[in-house]
Structure 1
Amino acid sequence: MISRPLIGLALALAANFFALGAASAEERRIEAKAVVELFTSQGCASCPPADALLTALAERDDVLALAFHVDYWDYVGWKDTFAQEAFSDRQRAYAKSWGSSRIYTPQIVVNGVKAVVGSRRSEVQQAVDGATLPLTMDLTLSGDMLKISVPPKGDLSNAVVWLITYKTRADVKIESGENAGKSMVYTQVVTGRQVLGMWEGETGADLKLPLGEVLGAPNTGIAIVVQQERGGFPGPILAAGAYEP
């Protein structure tokens, strides 16, 4: 998790500028048309195919793929090394926003509005291929400062700008539980999620993020997601992007 709050980060840390030099040839920026959130668990026997599918989707430059490891499978005999209660709560919040009390793994949510069984490759692919986001996001690197710009659109309600940190790859040997004996490769593993600011329909959003504050072990990538809320529950995602040095 990130060690200190990031609300107001753009103002509080704007002076925290480190010279990074020319952009690396390895750096990757994602301008997403689809945000794919996979709710998964190392203790779920039906999850490995969905984990592999997320890895394939993450290779696309128009898809932001994120793996939220939930903790409600931990009792089965293996404690997920990436699970957080907050991620289980996020999945429950999605279900409640759709009038449901049921959660399951593997589940994929596309752009905050469509849920699909994560192991059903054709259905997931169809949902991703048909996805669009109403706003564009411009990510510009200047030294160690990532500039985030999302234009205004007056016919949309205000939304929250989220900073999500993730680990692009992790190798795990599972010793017990339903996947005992398997050596798994997990990708796009979410490590933390914090409010960065607000996007307003009339004015848009322009923020600055000092990468030195958020990148480094275990975080190897950051995502910026603009998402509406409905009655305190997550709603449609309006814009998204990611940066991986």
Structure 2
Amino acid sequence: MNFRPFPAALALALLLASPAGAGELRQRPTAVLELFTSQGCSSCPAADALLTELGSRDEIIALAYHVDYWDYVGWPDTFGAKAHSDHQRNYAASWGSSRIFTPQLVVNGTEAVVGSRRQEVDIAVQNASLSVPVALSEGGGMLKVSIGPRPGLRAAVVWLVTYIERADVDIERGENRGKRLAYTQIVTGRQVLGMWEPATGATLTLPLAEVLDDGATGAAILVQEERRGLPGRILGAASYQR
């Protein structure tokens, strides 16, 4: 399988914070948390902070998708992207709904809660589980991905999701005007790597220099079902952070 790098997505190098040392691998998560958030949303900072807290736990892979549909209030989100808004809309469509909102937290692709309501989030995380093992190993500038078999399940898509570990942003306009806000696990791109077959599993080898280009400091591998071309249940996940 040929790997194609993401197109350029961000130019915010002065805001990035990259940890030194060897890469950190997270390989046995029970939950993937996808937060749909915006710098222009006054109710989002509490959810952003909660995601940062949860993302420090070994059993959780946290991803923040900054949407663009709040940009009209006067502050274009520095990480906002139409693709992120479309991803959220696709989740809603897969559940037979047209309603989207921020801050919305999707847990393992199956359940959505208000991302700032700690009790709801805690219950959803406690009940979450992932059934497909995803193992990562780093060496020689390469990232090897091994996804185990799980007969009886349906075939699923293997996604590569890149992110920035942290950025601090001064909000100059809009509902959060005058605030300096910290964001973590900021998604910079999504790309299909291939298909996972439950009878045989899958193995991929990716060049880290291409995975972590355009300022990204981490990457998550997600194994996710699709329904009618829309996102479904996440079966397995792992992450690498530089």
In structure 1, the partner of 2:32 is 35
In structure 2, the partner of 1:206 is 203
In structure 1, the partner of 2:12 is none
Q: Within 5 A, what are the aligned runs for 1:11-22?
A: none
Q: Within 5 A, what are the aligned runs for 1:95-106?
A: 95-106=92-103
Secondary structure, in 3 states, of the residue corresponding to 1:9?
A: coil
Q: Percent identity?
A: 61
Shift of 1:26: 4.8
In structure 1, what is the Cα distance between the partners aligned to 2:95 and 2:175?
Answer: 30
Deviations 1:162-208 (A, max 9, x none): 00110000010000000000000100000000011110111111000
Taking only aligned residues, the RMSD between alpha carbons, in angstroms, comes to 1.3
Q: Which amino acid aligns with 1:9?
A: F
Deviations 1:100-134 (A, max 9, x none): 11000000000000100001011101111211001
In structure 2, the gaps of 5 or more residues are 5-19
Q: Within 5 A, what are the aligned runs for 1:88-99?
A: 88-99=85-96
Shift of 1:8: 2.9
In structure 1, the gaps of 5 or more residues are 1-6, 11-23
In structure 1, the partner of 2:140 is 143
Shift of 1:218: 1.4
Give the alignment partner of residue 57 of structure 1, picking from 54, 58, 61.
54
Are 2:40 and 1:46 aligned? no
- Structure 1, 107-116 or 214-223: larger mean CA deviation: 214-223
Shift of 1:25: 5.1
In structure 2, what is the Cα distance between the partners aligned to 1:26 and 1:59?
Answer: 17
Contact in 2 for aligned 1:167/1:221 (Cα 8 Å): yes
Contact in 2 for aligned 1:158/1:200 (Cα 8 Å): yes
Shift of 1:27: 2.7
In structure 2, the partner of 1:129 is 126
When the two structures are aligned, how many residues end up with a matched partner? 226
Deviations 1:148-171 (A, max 9, x none): 011111211111100011000001
